[in-house]
Chains A and B, each alone.
Chain A
Amino acid sequence: MAAMFFVVTMVMYFAATVSFLAYLLWPSEALSKISPSMTAIGFASHTVALVARMIGTTDVSPPGFHEALSFFSWMLILVFLAVEIRHRLHVLGSFIVPLALVSLVSAAALPETAPTLTPMFRTLWLHVTLSMLGTVGFAIAFVAGVMYLIQDGLLKSKRFNVLYSKLPALDFLDHLNQQSIVTGFPLLTLGIITGALSAEFSRGSYLNWNPEQTWALVTWVFYFAVLMGRLTVGWRAKRAAYLTIIGFAGVILTLIGVVLKSHGPVS
C-alpha cells in the first residue's frame, strides 16, 4: 500500500511542479489555486505512505537514505503548505515543490531499506530526523536566496516581467532566509550532537573525522558564521542570499558523498 501511495505522491508532485512552473511564467493567476491543491493532495498521499510504512515495518531497522530523503521532501512540502496558508505566497511553491520532487525521485532511486552503515541504535532515528529538519531549514533559506537574487537582478536591470510581478518583496525574502537559518541551525546542531552520540555508541568515539562528519562540521561552522555575520556585521540581503546558496550546495554535496559512499555509485 505504501508503494502505491508513494507513486501517487510522485505523480502529484510532478503535476504540481509543472503547474507551478507554468504559473511562474504565465501572467495569468489561473494556476494559483490548482497548483497548491495538487501539492496538498500529493502531501496527503505522501503522509499516508509514510505512516503506512512506519506501521508496516515491525523491525526497528534504522532509517536509510530512502526514508531520509522521502521525509525531507515531506517536510519541505509541509513547510511550503504552512507558508502558503499563512501568506498566500504561491510563488514559493514554484521553487520548493520542484526541490521536493527531486528529493523524492532521488529517494525512489535508492533501495527502500538501505544497507546499514554500522550497527545502529535508536538514537540514529533522532539523528536523522533532526539533521533532516535542519536541512529543510537550509533548503528554505536556499530557495529564499535564489528568489532574492532573481528579484534583485530584475529590479536592478529594470525588467518588470511576469516573474517580477509574482516574486515577493526583497525584505520578505531576506526575512524568510533569516528565519529559515535561525530555525534550521539549532536543529542541525542537535542533529550533529545526536549523531556524535550514536557514533560514540556504535564506534566508541564521538568524532572520527570521516568525510561526512567532517563535512557536517564544516557545514555547521559555515552556517554559524552566516548567522553571526548577519547579526553582527550585516551579512544580509544579497550577501546572505549568496552564502545560503553556497551553504546548501555544501549540504547537497555532503548528502551525495554520503550516499555514494554507502551505496557505491548509482548506476
Chain B
Amino acid sequence: MHIVVVGLSHKTAPVEIREKLAIPESRMGEALTRLCSYQGVREGILLSTCNRVEVYAVVDEIESGYGRIQEFMADAHLSLSSEQLTPHLYWHQGDRAIGHLFRVAASLDSMIVGESQILGQIKEAFEVALTHKATGIILNKVVKKAISVAKRVRTETKIAEMAVSVSYAAVELAKKIFSDLSEKTVLLVGAGEMAKLAARHFIANGVRHVRVTTRSPQHALELANRFGGTAVAFEQFREDMASADIVLVSTGAAHYLVSEDDVQRSVKQRMNRPMFLIDISVPRNIDPAVRHVDNAFLFDIDDLKARVEQNRGGRLQEAEKAEQMVVDEVGIVRQWLQSLEVTPTIVALRTRVDDIKRAELDKTLGRLANLSVPERELVEAMASSIVNKLIHNTMVTLKAEVNSSEGAAFVEAARRFFSLGDPAVSNVNGNASSVSDTCHSSQEGIRDVEEVTQRTGSKMPDH
C-alpha cells in the first residue's frame, strides 16, 4: 500500500486548466465514489480549490495508481485528454506525498504563503471524504496529522504574518494615495478570505465607511454588519463604485467583473479624485486594462506580493522553520505507517508474548525450587503452548489480511490489543527508506516471520 498524490496547482497549471478540473462541491460525492471504484485504489480524498486540484490516494501499486488517478482527473473534464494534462501534473508518493499534503495544509505551497483559507478547505474535503467513506485508516490518520501540523506551524512560526503582510501592503499602498484614510470609503466586492482580511486592516487603519456587495444579498448583509458598513446590491455595484475610494475585489468569478469603462466612468463621476483598486481574485476580476485609466490605481495579488517580497528578509526564516516542522512530522507519520506493516507487528507481538511468558515462568519456577528438570521443562512447555495458542489466530489473521483493504486496520487493532506501543521496531527503524520501499521487503519479511513461528512451533511439545 502506498500513499500517492497526483495534482496540479497555481505553480504548475494556468487558471484555464485549473478551472476545468475543479470539482464543484455538489459533485464531490460522485467524484469520490468514482475515484474509489478504480481497481487498486483503496482510499482517496479530493482537494479542489481555486488554486489547486489534488487527488490523494492509497493505492496498491504506485505506477498503476498514478495512471488511474490521472485517468480519473482527465475524466472529470471531457475536453481534456490525459496527455494534455501530463505537463501540468505532479506526482508524489510515500514521504513526499505526505510532506506535500503537510506543506499544502500549512499554507507553505499557497499562492499567498501563510493564508489560512486552505486549512479550512482541507477540513471540508476531509469531511466530504468521511461522509462518503472514501478514506480509511491511513488517509484518516495522515489528513488529521496534516491539520495538526498546519495548526502547529501557525502557532509556532510567524508564517501567518505573510498573508497579513499582503493586506498590510494594500494599506501601505493606499496611504501613498490617500493621506487620511478615515474619510475614505472601502467597497468590498465578494467575500474572499484575503479581501476580508484586507478590509479588517483598512478598518484598523481608520477607514470608517465600508460598503459590501456579494452575489448573495444575505451574505452581504452579514458581512456589512460585521464591518459596521452597508450592503450594496451586487447588480448595482459598478454604478456605485464612484462613491468608493478603495475597491477591494475578491470573488470566485472566472471572468472580469469590472471593466476599463466602469472605472473610467467612476473616475469621471468622482471628478478625477483618485481611486485605489485591489484585485485579490484568482482568476482576476478587474480588467488589467484599468491600469491605463488616469487617477485609477490598480494592484493585483502579484503586485501586492512583489511589495511584500521587498519587505521580507526575516520572514524567509519563518518559512524555513515551518519546512523543518513538516519534515519532522513526516518522520513521525512514517514511523506510524511502518507500524502498520505486518512483519514488524508480528515480530513485536512475538517478542511481547515471549517476554511475558519468560517473566511469569521465572516467577513461578523461582517458587517451585524443588522441581526436577523434566518437570521444569513440562511447565515451560505448557506456558509456551498457552501463549502460542492465544496469539495463533491473531498471527494467522494478520498474515491473511496483509493484502486486504482492511489490513492496516487489523494491524492497528492488534497493536492496540497487545499494547505493542510505538512502532520503533528496530529492524525497520534503521531503514530510513520511504514506505514504498519497505512495502516490497515486507513480503519477504513475512516469510521470515513464518519461518520463525514455525521453528518455535516445532519446539512446542505436542500434547
Interface residues of A (CB under 8 A from B): 151, 155-156, 158, 160, 164, 167-172, 175, 233-239
Contacts and interface: CB of A to CB of B under 8 A. Distances in A.
Contacts of B410: none
Majority-rule SS of A interface residues = helix
Nearest to B307: A160
Q: How large is the interface on B (under 10, 10 to 19, 20 to 34, 35 or more residues)?
A: 20 to 34
A170 B273 CA distance: 10
A171 B179 contact: yes
23 contacts: A155-B173, A155-B177, A155-B297, A156-B291, A156-B297, A158-B299, A158-B306, A169-B175, A169-B178, A169-B179, A170-B176, A170-B274, A171-B179, A171-B180, A172-B179, A234-B268, A234-B273, A236-B271, A236-B272, A236-B273, A237-B295, A238-B272, A238-B295
Interface in B165-185: 173, 175-180
Contacts of B272: 234-239
Nearest to B173: A155
Nearest to B302: A158
B176 A151 contact: yes
B239 interface: no
A169 B299 contact: no
Contact of A237 (B178, B268, B274): B274
B361 to A, nearest CB: 78
B271 A171 contact: no
Contacts of A167: 176
Nearest to A158: B303
Closest 9 pairs (CB-CB, A-B): A234-B271, A169-B179, A172-B179, A234-B272, A237-B272, A237-B295, A236-B272, A170-B177, A171-B178
A91 B129 CA distance: 59
Contacts of B271: 233-234, 236
B441 interface: no
B222 interface: no
Given A171-B179, A234-B268, 18 more contacts: A155-B297, A158-B306, A168-B176, A169-B176, A169-B179, A170-B176, A170-B177, A170-B274, A171-B177, A171-B180, A171-B273, A235-B272, A236-B272, A237-B273, A237-B274, A237-B295, A238-B272, A239-B294
A234 B294 CA distance: 13
B273 to A, nearest CB: 7
A156 B276 CA distance: 11
Nearest to A169: B179
Interface in B86-114: none
Nearest to A236: B272
B236 interface: no
A164 B307 CA distance: 12
